[in-house]
Structure formats: C-alpha cells, structure tokens
A and B are shown apart, each in its own frame.
Chain A
C-alpha cells in the first residue's frame, strides 16, 4: 500500500492563480480530510468527506473547494490564490469504523503564494 499520497510536493503560485492539490489513498478509507499548517502552528481542518459524494466544511473553508467523486481521491481546489493561503497542506484518511479514530496523513504540499 502506498497509503496517502499528495501531489505536488511544492508549488509556487501568483496571487489570483488557481490550482488543484491532489490527494489519493489506496486503503479504501471512507473518511478523508484536508488540513493546513502555518509556521509554528497546529493543523487546522479545511474540508472533510465521509464518503464519495459527501463533503463538509471544517474550521477554515473559505477560499477552498473540494469534491469527492471516488473513494480514493479528494482534491482540494484553490480558486483564486491569496498570500494568506501560503501554508503546508496535509491530506488525511481514516476508516469510519475501527478501534481508534486514527487518521493517516500524507507527506504534505508546501504552497507559496506570491
């Protein structure tokens, strides 16, 4: 199993540009989520999904869109990038049922918006 994969690893955008951060998991997990981590801070939840076709907002959803057409993929779209979106983005997945609510995180995408 590759686990949770994210692409790209690094990205530089200009203000106003749009892009999609890709996230995929091969563990057949129902739950997937996106977090952002700013320097010296903990992670903040952007959006999450409990299954294909179902998404919901987290703590900081403004400026981001998501969709979940398959169990495996959960892309995060920035419609018009702003410098305040400079951050490291982590995708995570988890089974809905299990002994623990353990989330498996990807390696992250470091995004810089100029």
Chain B
C-alpha cells in the first residue's frame, strides 16, 4: 500500500491561499490521488481527485507533477470555515485506501 507523507499542521489567515503538499514516492501506475476534508465530529468529505497535471473544481485545485511522486492541494482565499484536517490518499481501489494522520489546517482571522 502506497504511503503518503504530509505536514502535521499548517497555519494561515483568512483570505490567503493555502498549499498543502503530500509526498507519495511509491505511487503505482494505476493509482489516483485523492484529498478529503474532515471537521471535528464529522466524517471525511471528498474534496478533489486527480491522476496527473492539474485538476480544478469549485473548492480547490490539485497539482500533480509528471513523476507523480507528490501532489499539492491548493485552497484559494481560505476562510475560518476551512479549519479542518486534510487527508491525502493514494487511491488504488476501494480496498486499498489508506488514510494517514492528515494535516491540521488552522485559519485565523
């Protein structure tokens, strides 16, 4: 199972762009990179998924370099409500999902 490494915590201020980088050196050819967000006392929520280059949706962008050994989740103009834990997963199929300890993002006023 591919393991991911991401910072334990990050701090930011409202209105700033936040970039969370995840390394996944052992990613397999068929694996996707998926990010989830989790608020306290709630289940995780899907944010974005990608295979290579750049993916953008209404809440985030995901940048994946050509070697796919890392990825960066970009949250534009964060607000207080973005304070949460963000998990980077290498997705090789449902039975292979491994959640690491995640990155705790704290957004301050």
Secondary structure class of chain A's binding surface, majority of residues? strand
Chain B residues within 8 Å of A, Cβ to Cβ: 32, 34, 41-46, 49, 87, 91, 93-95, 97-102
Known: A42-B99, A43-B99. A101 touches B91 (CB 8 A): yes
Q: Which of A69-77, A78-86, A104-112 contacts B (4 or more CB under 8 A)?
A: A104-112
CB-contact partner of B42 in A31, A48, A108, under 8 A: A108
Best-buried of B32, B91, B97, B99 by chain A (most CB within 10 Å) = B97
B90 to chain A, nearest CB (A): 11
Q: List residues 1-18 of chain A with CB under 8 A from any CB of chain B.
A: 4
Q: How far is the CA of A28 from the CA of B102 in the complex (A)?
A: 30
Q: Which residues of B contact A52 (CB under 8 A)?
A: none
Q: How far is the CA of A48 from the CA of B96 in the complex (A)?
A: 11
Asked if A103 is at the interface of the complex by the 8 Å CB criterion, the answer is yes
Q: Which residues of B contact A106 (CB under 8 A)?
A: 43
CB-contact partner of B49 in A59, A102, A108, under 8 A: A102
Closest to A44 in B: B99
